[in-house]
Amino acid sequence: MASTPNVAGTAVGAATSAANVASTAVSASPMRIVAVQPGPADSTLTLENTSGTPVDLTNWSVRLGATSLRLPANTVVPPNGRLVVHSGTGTSTASDVYLAQDTATLLTALQSGTTVSLVDASGNVVGEMTPPR
């Protein structure tokens, strides 16, 4: 079974990964997308809080092109911490959140070069990443 490579990004102005994929900080939010991992059963998106205070992601969403996925209420990323958002099913923890979405549709969006955006509760895009085609 072939594995799907991890697509990792970096902050604006820093070097990009070998795949030339950059995570772009769009606003002054401490949250950013640091990795996108397409997978046939469970695609993941890793978010990072670059601040020294927790960030509550209640009413935040992840947008994959025209598809928008709301993050669960009371999802909090700890100071200088990471959160892995899974498209598949599982038991959510403090560091992993499962959305139980149609993974085939999301995988298609992720592999097509569609921009993945992190959108805050006010509707502002705070980070973006585009997986390679």
CATH fold of 7-125: Immunoglobulin-like (2.60.40)
Q: Where along the chain do its domains lie?
A: 7-125
| pLDDT, tens digit (0-9, with 9 covering 90-100), for 94-121 | 999 998 887 667 766 666 678 899 999 9
5 vs 55, higher pLDDT:
55
Which residue reads 């769009």 in tokens?
Answer: 26
Largest Cα separation within the chain, whole Å, is 42
Q: Which pLDDT band, with edges at 50, 70 and 90, does 5 fall under?
A: very low
pLDDT at 12: 30
With a cut of 70, say whether residue 22 has pLDDT above it.
no
Total Cβ atoms within 10 A of residue 14? 9
pLDDT at 55: 97
With a cut of 60, say whether residue 19 has pLDDT above it.
no
| pLDDT, tens digit (0-9, with 9 covering 90-100), for 33-90 | 999 888 778 888 999 999 999 999 999 999 988 888 899 999 999 999 999 999 889 9
Residues 6+ apart with CB under 8 A from 35: 6, 7, 8, 9, 44, 45, 46
pLDDT at 65: 81
